[in-house]
Amino acid sequence: MEPTRLPLFPLPIVLFPGTLVPLHIFEQRYRDMVADALDRDKRFGLLYHDPDESGPFLTEEGRVGTVAVIKRHQPLPDGRSMILVRGEERFRIHDEVESDALYYEALVGPYEDKTGEIDPAAMVARRKRSLALFKNILQTQPHVPETMPSFSVKRELSFRLAGLVRMDPFWQRELLELRDESARLDRLDPVFQAGIERWWADGGLEA
């Protein structure tokens, strides 16, 4: 597939496919980017960027981000806006694009999981194990939600679960770049298990 042109929004957060994230748009160049995206296909690339990191990050070929689609746009009186974006597919940067726009643009290509022989039944069972751990974590919370999120174990699950736990953004970035569903679940399971063990160490349910 030929690389496509995509506006980029570098932020100190990681957007996972299938997750929703609210963003406050206040800097003029990103106001322009959002306006242009709304006039086109409502898409831009969200790329993790450490604010303490210096240097022209776009020249680092191979950096991975997530396509964000604007689902909701709320303009504010002073020109700022609040948007809600949904993560779609991952992308990899191929090259920087020079343009008259104030915001960053790049040529990007798809970044997909590696293909191989996968036993569908084994993958469903693998997802069920991770989902069971996650649901156990929910039961340890002080306020258990009345309605549980709905999940399907018949399609990709790791990114949805990852978007619901608070972890260091560097850890999240590494997870985003993994190209294997089982490998991502292997990273998530110890996080869930550690949370359950902390809960029991703190006394579990009070009698």
At residue 200, the pLDDT reads: 52
Contact 97, 105 (CB under 8 A): yes
HSE (CB half, 13 Å, CA atoms) of 198? 9
Residue 145 pLDDT > 80, yes or no? no
The pTM (predicted TM-score) of the whole model is 0.88
At residue 146, the pLDDT reads: 64
What dotted CATH number matches 4-110?
A: 2.30.130.40
Rounded to the nearest 10°, the torsion over CA 73, 64, 169, 13 is: -20
Alpha-carbon torsion (112, 162, 84, 49), positive or negative = negative
Digit-coded pLDDT (tens) for 13-41: 999 999 999 999 999 999 999 999 999 99
At residue 205, the pLDDT reads: 42
How far lies 91's CA from each of 52, 56, 66, 107, 131, in Å? 23, 19, 6, 10, 26
Report the share of the chain in percent with pLDDT over 70. 86
Residue 193 pLDDT > 50, yes or no? yes
Contact 177, 159 (CB under 8 A): no
- Domain range list for the chain: 4-110, 120-201
Contact 70, 84 (CB under 8 A): yes
At residue 128, the pLDDT reads: 96
